[in-house]
C-alpha cells in the first residue's frame, strides 16, 4: 500500500487540476449535506404538530440553533446564516415551501455539476499520471543491464509496463475519483446526522469502525492473491508471445496442440491465483451489508423506544435516518473501491521493484565523454561468467588491437566469440579485467559516448515496425536523405529498395517479416554504415546472404572499414582470409592468433574449423 500511495502522490505534480477536483468534490458533498439539512425543519413541522410549514426566517433560525448546539462556537459562528439575510427572507407558507424547493433544486444542480466536473478532472489527472508513469517505467527498463533482461525475459518487463500500470490507473481512478467523492458525501451525511441527533449517529460510527476492520483483513488477502495473479499473467504473456513469434516453427512441426497445452497450463496457474482472492472478494459486500443492517436494526429499536418515551422527535429521527442512509449508500461502493486499490497496490509493488532496480553503469551524471577512438582497443585480462553458469564464457583474455585493424574471431559454437565482442559496447561488464580504448578504461566514461562510435550488425537482424528509411536511419536522427541513400548503396540494398512499391517509404512488418533474411541483413548493414562508426562489429553479419551478394557486400565493407577498427565473427572462409589477423578461440580462451596460412600450418583447432565449420573452406593440409 505504501508504494501505491507514493505513486498516487504523483498527482500533486498537477496542483491546479488536483485542487479543482478536490474543491468540486467538496461542493458536491456540501450541496448534498445542505439539502438533507434543509428538509429536516419541514418534516419536523409537519410530523410534530401537523401545522403548516412556518416562515423561512423561523426555519433559518431553527437551523442556526441546531448548528450552534452541535458544534463548538469557534466553528458554528462561521456556519450560521447571518441575521441580515434572515431578515430579508420571504414570509408565508407558500413562499416558504417555494423557496425551499428552489433552493433544493439549486443545490441538486450544484452537486450534480460538481460531481461531473470532479469526475472529468480526476480522469484527466489519472491519465496524465499513468502516461508519465509508463514513460518513466519504460525508460528504466531500457536502462537496465542486458543480463537482467536475459535472466528475467522481456515479457515480464512488458507486462509491468503495460498491464501493471493499467491496474494502477484503475485503482487510482477509483480512489481519487469515486472513492474521494463517495467518502466526502459520506462524511457530509454523517456530519448532518450528528448535528440532528448525535446519539443515533454514534451507533452508525461504531458500525463503520467494524466495517473498516473487516475490509482491512480481507484486503490483505486480496493484495497477496492479486500479486500472484499478476506474476502468472506475465507467464501467460510469455507463452503466447513465444508461440505467435515462432508460429512458422510451430506450424511446420505441427506443434499446435503442444502450444495450446502449454498455454492452457499457464492459464490454469493464473486461474488458481485468481481463485485465491474470490473468497475475500465475495465476502466483502455481504459482510458489510450484514453489519449495516444489524446497525440499522439496533438504531431503529433505540429510536422507537425514545419516541415512545417522547425523548426523540419523529422528524429528527427520519432525517437522521435518511442522512445515515445516504452515508451508508456512499460507503458501500468503498468496499469494491478498496478491493481495486489492493489490486493496484500489488501492481505498485511490482512497479516499485522495477523503478528501484539498479540501472546499467555508465549512465550517471558527470561522467566524461569518450573521445573518438584513434589508437588502440585492448582487452586486458578480461573474464565474464553468465548468471547460473559455472564455466566462464570469457576466461582471462588479453588482446591488443590497433586502430584500423580488421580482426576475425573464429571458434566452435559457444567458445565466447560473441561474448568477448559484447564487452566492447558494454552490453556486459567483465567480472575481472578491463577493456581499454586508446589506453583508457571505458568504465570511466559515459556509455552513450562509447556506443555512439560503435556500429554493430548481428546474425539476428532486428527491424522495427516503421518505414525502410526510418529503419536505416535508426539511431542517426541527424542523417539526411543523401546519407541514407548512400548507406543503402554501400550495403547493396538500394536496388531491392527501389523495386519496392513505395521505395524508402515502404513500411516494414513487425520483426521485418515482410522482407527476406538477406534483405533484412542488408538494411542492418546500411544502418551500421550510416552511423559512421570508429569501431565496426560484424557478428555473422553475412550469414543470411547468398555468395554473390556476400562478395559484393564484402567489397563494400572492405572499402568502408578503411581507417576503422573492425571486429568480425564470420562463418565464411572468404571473410576470414581477408582479415589482418585471426583470433582462434575455444572454451572461452584464445588458442592462437595469426594469419590464415600460418594458422593452417600450426593450429589444430583452426584446421578442424576449416574442415568442418567455415563455409567455402579449402581442405586443410595433411
Whole-model pTM: value is: 0.69
Q: Which residues pair with 105 in a beta bridge?
A: none
* pLDDT: which is higher, 156 or 282: 156
Q: What is the pLDDT of residue 172?
A: 80
Whether the pLDDT of residue 488 is over 50: the answer is yes
Top-confidence range, 229-233, 241-245, 292-296, 465-469: 465-469
Write the burial class of residue 569 (CB in 10 Å: 0-12 exposed, 13-18 middle, 19+ buried): buried
Residue 425 banded pLDDT, cuts 50, 70, 90: very high
Residue 596 resides in a domain: yes
More confident residue, 254 or 352: 352
Q: What is the pLDDT of residues 303-346, one digit of tens each?
A: 677 667 776 666 666 666 666 666 666 666 666 676 677 777 78
114 and 152 fall within a common domain = yes
Task: Please report, rounded to a whole number, the percentage of residues in the chain having pLDDT higher than 90.
Answer: 16
Shared domain for 492 and 515, answered yes or no, is: yes
The percent of residues above 70 in pLDDT, for the chain, comes to 70
Tell me: do 344 and 484 sit in the same domain.
no
CATH of the domain at 514: 3.40.50.300
Say yes or no: 189 and 289 in one domain.
Answer: yes
The domain that holds 303 is classified in CATH as 1.20.1560.10
Closest-CA residue to 506 (of 488, 531, 490): 488
Average confidence (pLDDT) over 84-98? 73
Predicted local distance difference test score (pLDDT) of residue 46: 47
Looking at the domain assignment, is residue 195 inside a domain? Answer: yes
Residue 130 shares a structural domain with residue 8: yes
pLDDT of res. 181: 65
pLDDT reported for residue 27? 62
Please give the grid coordinates belonging to residue 112.
Answer: 450534480
Distance CA 172, CA 125 (A): 10
What per-residue confidence (pLDDT) applies to 330?
A: 61
Pick 32 or 481 by higher pLDDT.
Answer: 481
Top pLDDT among 486 and 316 is at 486
Measure CA of the first residue to CA of the last residue in the chain; give whole Å: 73
pLDDT at residue 622 greater than cutoff 60: no
Does 69 have pLDDT greater than 90? no
Residues 418 and 541 in one domain: yes
pLDDT value of residue 620: 44
Residues 6+ apart with CB under 8 A from 398: 378, 379, 380, 381, 382, 433
Question: For residues 181 and 176, what is the distance between their CA atoms, to the nearest angstrom?
Answer: 8
- Cβ neighbour number for residue 101 with a 10 Å cutoff: 12
Q: Average pLDDT, stretch 51-56?
A: 57
Q: Is the dihedral of CA 340, 345, 350, 354 positive or negative?
A: positive
State how far the Cα of 402 lies from the Cα of 377, in Å rounded to an integer.
6
Same domain, 441 and 469: no
pLDDT at 81: 81
Q: What pLDDT is stored for residue 232 in this prediction? A: 81
Asked if residue 412 has pLDDT above 80, the reply is yes
Return mean pLDDT, the chain.
78
Establish if 181 belongs to a structural domain: yes
Q: Could you tell me the residue range of the domain that residue 432 belongs to?
A: 373-453+536-546+562-617
Task: Determine the Cα–Cα distance for residues 31 and 103; give it in Å rounded to an integer.
Answer: 10
- Residue 74 domain flag: no
Q: Is residue 318 part of a domain?
A: yes
Domain-located, residue 267? no
Regarding whether 508 and 599 lie in a shared domain, the answer is no
Dist CA 493 CA 57 (whole Å): 90
Domain stop point among 329, 355, 381: 355
Is residue 595 in a domain? Answer: yes
Categorize the per-residue pLDDT at 48 as very low, low, confident or very high, splitting at 50, 70 and 90.
Answer: very low
Among candidate residues 293, 321, 355, the one where a domain is terminated: 355
Same domain, 520 and 602: no
For residue 517, what pLDDT is reported?
Answer: 77
Q: Which of 169-183, 357-371, 462-476, 507-521 has the lowest mean pLDDT?
A: 169-183
Task: Give the DSSP H or E segment for 457.
Answer: strand 454-457
Residue 621 pLDDT: 45
The more confidently predicted of residues 182 and 408 is 408
List of residues 6+ apart from 136 with CB closer than 8 A:
355
Looking at the structure of the chain, the number of domains it has is 3
CA–CA gap between residue 377 and residue 581 (Å, rounded): 14
Q: Are residues 608 and 492 in the same domain?
A: no
The pLDDT value recorded for residue 441 is: 94
Tell me if 63 is assigned to some domain.
no
Q: Give the tens place of pLDDT for each residue, 336-382.
A: 676 677 777 788 888 888 888 888 888 777 788 889 998 999 999 99
User: Is the pLDDT assigned to residue 146 strictly greater than 70?
Assistant: yes
Q: Are residues 296 and 341 in the same domain?
A: yes
Do residues 525 and 567 both lie within one domain? no
Amino acid at each position: 500500500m505504501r508504494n501505491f500511495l507514493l505513486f498516487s502522490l504523483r498527482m500533486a505534480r498537477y496542483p491546479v487540476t488536483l485542487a479543482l477536483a478536490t474543491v468540486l468534490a467538496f461542493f458536491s458533498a456540501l450541496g448534498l449535506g445542505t439539502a438533507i439539512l434543509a428538509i429536516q425543519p419541514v418534516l419536523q413541522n409537519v410530523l410534530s404538530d401537523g401545522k403548516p410549514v412556518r416562515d423561512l426566517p423561523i426555519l433559518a433560525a431553527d437551523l442556526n440553533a441546531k448548528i450552534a448546539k452541535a458544534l463548538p462556537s469557534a466553528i458554528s459562528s462561521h456556519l450560521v446564516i447571518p441575521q441580515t439575510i434572515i431578515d430579508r427572507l420571504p414570509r408565508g407558507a407558500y413562499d416558504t415551501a417555494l423557496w425551499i424547493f428552489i433552493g433544493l433544486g439549486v443545490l441538486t444542480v450544484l452537486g450534480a455539476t460538481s460531481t461531473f466536473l470532479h469526475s472529468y478532472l480526476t480522469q484527466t489527472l489519472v491519465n496524465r499520471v499513468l502516461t508519465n508513469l509508463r514513460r518513466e517505467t519504460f525508460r528504466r527498463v531500457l536502462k537496465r543491464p542486458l543480463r537482467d533482461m536475459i535472466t528475467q525475459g522481456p515479457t515480464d518487463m512488458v507486462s509491468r509496463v503495460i498491464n501493471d500500470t493499467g491496474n494502477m490507473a484503475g485503482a487510482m481512478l477509483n480512489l481519487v475519483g469515486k472513492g474521494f467523492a463517495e467518502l466526502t458525501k459520506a462524511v457530509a451525511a454523517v456530519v448532518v446526522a450528528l448535528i440532528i441527533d448525535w446519539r443515533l449517529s454514534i451507533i452508525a460510527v461504531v458500525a463503520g469502525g467494524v466495517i473498516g476492520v473487516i475490509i482491512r483483513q480481507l484486503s490483505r488477502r486480496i493484495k497477496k492473491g492479486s500479486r500472484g495473479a499478476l506474476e502468472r499473467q506475465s507467464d501467460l504473456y510469455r507463452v503466447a508471445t513465444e508461440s505467435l513469434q515462432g508460429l512458422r516453427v510451430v506450424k511446420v512441426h505441427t506443434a499446435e496442440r503442444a502450444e495450446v497445452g502449454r498455454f492452457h497450463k499457464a492459464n490454469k496457474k493464473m486461474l488458481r491465483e485468481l481463485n485465491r482472492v474470490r473468497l475475500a472478494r465475495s465476502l466483502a459486500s455481504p459482510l458489510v451489508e450484514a453489519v449495516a443492517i444489524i446497525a440499522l436494526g439496533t438504531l431503529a429499536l433505540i429510536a422507537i423506544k425514545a419516541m415512545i418515551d417522547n425523548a426523540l422527535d419523529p422528524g429528527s429521527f427520519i432525517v437522521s435516518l435518511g442522512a445515515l442512509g445516504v452515508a451508508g449508500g456512499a460507503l458501500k461502493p468503498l468496499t469494491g473501491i478498496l478491493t481495486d486499490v489492493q489490486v493496484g497496490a500489488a501492481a505498485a509493488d511490482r512497479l516499485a521493484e522495477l523503478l528501484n532496480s539498479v540501472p546499467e553503469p555508465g549512465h550517471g551524471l558527470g561522467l566524461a565523454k569518450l573521445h573518438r577512438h584513434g589508437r588502440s582497443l585492448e582487452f586486458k585480462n578480461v573474464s565474464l561468467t553468465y548468471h547460473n553458469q559455472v564455466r566462464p564464457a570469457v576466461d582471462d583474455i588479453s588482446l591488443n588491437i590497433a586502430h584500423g585493424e580488421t580482426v576475425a574471431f573464429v571458434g566452435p559454437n559457444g567458445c565466447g566469440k560473441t561474448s568477448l565482442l559484447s564487452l566492447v559496447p558494454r552490453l556486459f561488464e567483465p567480472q575481472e579485467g578491463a577493456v581499454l580504448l586508446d589506453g583508457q578504461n571505458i568504465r570511466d566514461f559515459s556509455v552513450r559516448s562509447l556506443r555512439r562510435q560503435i556500429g554493430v550488425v548481428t546474425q539476428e537482424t532486428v527491424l522495427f515496425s516503421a518505414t525502410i528509411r526510418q529503419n536505416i536511419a535508426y539511431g542517426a536522427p541527424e542523417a539526411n536523405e543523401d546519407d541514407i541513400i548512400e548507406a543503402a548503396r554501400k550495403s547493396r540494398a538500394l536496388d531491392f529498395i527501389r523495386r519496392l512499391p513505395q521505395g524508402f517509404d515502404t513500411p516494414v512488418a513487425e520483426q521485418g517479416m515482410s522482407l527476406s533474411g538477406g534483405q533484412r541483413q542488408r538494411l542492418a548493414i546500411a544502418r551500421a554504415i550510416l552511423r559512421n562508426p570508429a569501431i565496426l562489429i560484424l557478428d555473422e553479419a553475412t550469414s543470411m546472404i547468398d555468395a554473390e551478394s556476400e562478395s559484393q557486400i564484402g567489397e563494400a565493407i572492405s572499402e568502408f572499414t578503411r581507417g576503422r577498427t573492425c571486429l568480425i565473427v564470420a562463418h565464411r572462409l572468404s571473410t576470414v582470409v581477408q582479415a589482418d589477423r585471426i583470433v582462434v578461440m575455444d572454451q572461452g580462451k584464445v588458442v592462437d592468433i595469426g594469419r590464415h596460412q600460418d594458422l593452417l600450418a600450426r593450429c589444430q583447432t583452426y584446421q578442424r574449423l576449416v574442415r568442418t565449420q567455415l563455409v567455402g573452406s579449402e581442405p586443410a593440409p595433411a
